[in-house]
A and B are shown apart, each in its own frame.
Chain A
């Protein structure tokens, strides 16, 4: 399917809808064609090689009262488009009116320039040439004394997206991405206890993939968690690793500043715009314009240009700190922030982050550790906070004791409980080192003191 074909299908569709029903206000069409390769390892051995492709289209139709109909299929021909138009209109007719709907975006004169989002080496990558990355993973596990197994994968994907709407917008983009992941199991020879460690890397260009480092990080993670101990209740400083920072600070804030969550008043940050919600160390932005970053885009999934937006500055939650798509922006009477996101052609645009970043600090990880006499390092909890209340109480799945500035025994059956607003106020150090996990960039963050509930009581 070439560009001119997609173009003529889109025009055909827009024409068809325009002449179908005088009640219709606007329409958008989203095309996506994609292909991927995936190599999986299990039991530290290559297990499966996979290739796949998809071509899909979705049509969104909205009438003058704001009623919205949506239909999608994964066949790209005139016959299918015609049927989808009919179905989308049928859906629109039964939908409820929505006076909050203003309009779809118009066309834009300028789009930002962001480099490094497409790597032709990835688009043309053959599975045979990707084997070396998983072989690197396998070797790290093989060479270690106590590693007993590893699962993981290497995947790469290419997609081309086209967005058209009845306000004259037409844009297209090409994206590539690749991913390497490692989950290593280690077993202590004496205690026979096992534990696992996980690490992943997502990149836009193949040259940045570093399988050996990823496997080594997973291995260190697994070893740090071997021979876990139950501890007693305590109230101590907690050091969040970058992964911990993502699950307790970045991800919850990303959900809480999503304008849709906000408008439904399901966010613990409702009523807090323009106010201080954390210590001076809390600085957050959403930046879609970083060259080569996993979350970067020229435009969002409605065709609106992406931006760099400050969300929280020195603990102040900015009045402009919400992430919008065109619908929520229209409802609030502001401009879309370029955060419309679809999981693929199968979904209507919701709201998503681009690159969600916590600003690193001035001091090093070592300097922060040095000051902690007794504390906890929290790397991973399977739990996530309650976004409407900000309450968090969860099990520390990967975490260790800190004694005299050193990482010590891993924790078993240990829970942590805190309200996020309390946690944000208690941030008293942020490291200059940071890690990038896909669309998140996170430093180490120290929380002054937190209640820890141990399993040894």
Chain B
């Protein structure tokens, strides 16, 4: 791996000096630096709106003492700037320590010295900008020409390359070199007074091969097809219903309404409904929920690249690992970063992540999913007397302290006596997550399992995530349409 010149500034000599400065003044420190560059292509109605390129340097220096953190952010990697930033972070940690009431220590770990570079079959830098433009234009054309009902199209291509260096007081030195790509397609359709839209994206960690899979090639057509189909969708019905939820919607509910409550920082701050519930049965028997950000899972979905939410080592120098959250309905583990694991006296499980080096790591998910069981989709539908099959996801939100959630799927079908009826739109589901997890009455098999990609926001930081699930059935969910 070729190390960028900026990162080379931080050599053994500087690290030695930093250790000298920190000696006995703070208990822990870490430095994260990164050099990023990338391209962004944003097309609307076959015209380019933004064609841009960037080069950004970030550096965040963290120091810790007895419950207090100090954090100093700088945007250049000169030796003198780093030393100065380091001293500031130490001073701020001591200030925090003098004021904080919640005292704790960070459990020391063995140093980790490692380099990682994700595989990329086609390097992003080797692809000419003209070819990237051509790709976006083709997607725009496919979407625009799909039907005369297509009103607007938008295609966004984002790629990036980042090289990060992590150092900490235990002597860790981790260099990671990542390249990632996201292609995003949005289509608006109009028929008489009805306006509809659909959106899909493909994303992963790897090279240009990410946009060359069948899924990526079909992205714009699939999106246009959905947006057109929705024009004739009927308004949904309201009331209490049995719901069959597709992998995309289920995965999102698992992530948003449940996954965030498992983040130990929210648990410690009394903001989670799962506080003091480890070891308790909180979901139907047979429910297994996992967060597994480890690498090598793209294969499972026939992808020639790594999943968008995967990572090798988290942003606190802890290798990613598979964490079992719910096993057979019983809450087993929270997700941890360095601080929460130290405070709860458990081993860290590699969920300390930051969007960029100039932000502090928080407890975050990577690839969270509900494990498949044994139902086929046909069997679930046939076994449902009166219900609604909900597909895809528009958006959703959850009140973390109560677990009250609402999600909007993109389209849905009424199920009557085991038969799928006509398409409906704009279906909103709401409920209490801990009640809903206990009302799961069927979990689909491996063939129905799928994953989706997204950017997850928490405390102003947006990070790469994936979620996954099979089709599932939940009883007794409140459904609200507009009428």
Contact = CB atoms under 8 A, between A and B. Distances in A.
B75 A55 contact: yes
B412 to A, nearest CB: 14
Contacts of A94: 48, 51, 129-130, 133
Interface stretch (B155-163, B428-436, B465-473): B428-436
Interface residues of B, number: 74
B480 A50 contact: no
Contact of A388 (B68, B197, B395): B197
B129 to A, nearest CB: 5
B129 A185 contact: no
B4 interface: no
Contacts of B336: none
B172 interface: no
B482 A417 contact: yes
A346 interface: yes
A440 to B, nearest CB: 19
Interface stretch (B374-382, B396-404, B438-446): B396-404
A336 to B, nearest CB: 18
A246 B349 CA distance: 40
B270 interface: yes
B474 to A, nearest CB: 14
A74 B56 contact: yes
Contacts of B290: none
A46 B52 contact: no
A389 B401 CA distance: 32
A395 B408 CA distance: 11
A196 interface: yes
A51 interface: yes
Given A53-B74, A54-B75, A417-B482, A87 B53 contact: yes
Contact of A48 (B44, B70, B404): B70
B129 A90 contact: yes
A109 interface: no
Given A185-B270, A415-B430, A195 B402 contact: yes
Contacts of A67: 48
Nearest to A452: B480
A332 interface: no
Interface stretch (B96-104, B313-321, B364-372): B96-104
Interface of B: 43-57, 67-76, 88, 92-93, 95-96, 99-102, 129-130, 133, 151-152, 188, 190, 194-195, 197, 238-240, 265, 268-271, 358, 360, 395, 397-402, 404-406, 426, 428, 430-432, 478, 480-483
Given A48-B71, A74-B55, A382-B398, 8 more contacts: A43-B270, A47-B102, A49-B71, A71-B54, A94-B48, A94-B129, A94-B130, A397-B397
Chain A to chain B: the 3 pairs with minimum beta-carbon distance, closest first? A52-B73, A382-B397, A395-B406
15 contacts: A45-B99, A48-B96, A49-B70, A50-B92, A91-B129, A94-B51, A148-B270, A194-B270, A196-B271, A264-B45, A264-B188, A382-B397, A382-B406, A413-B478, A457-B239
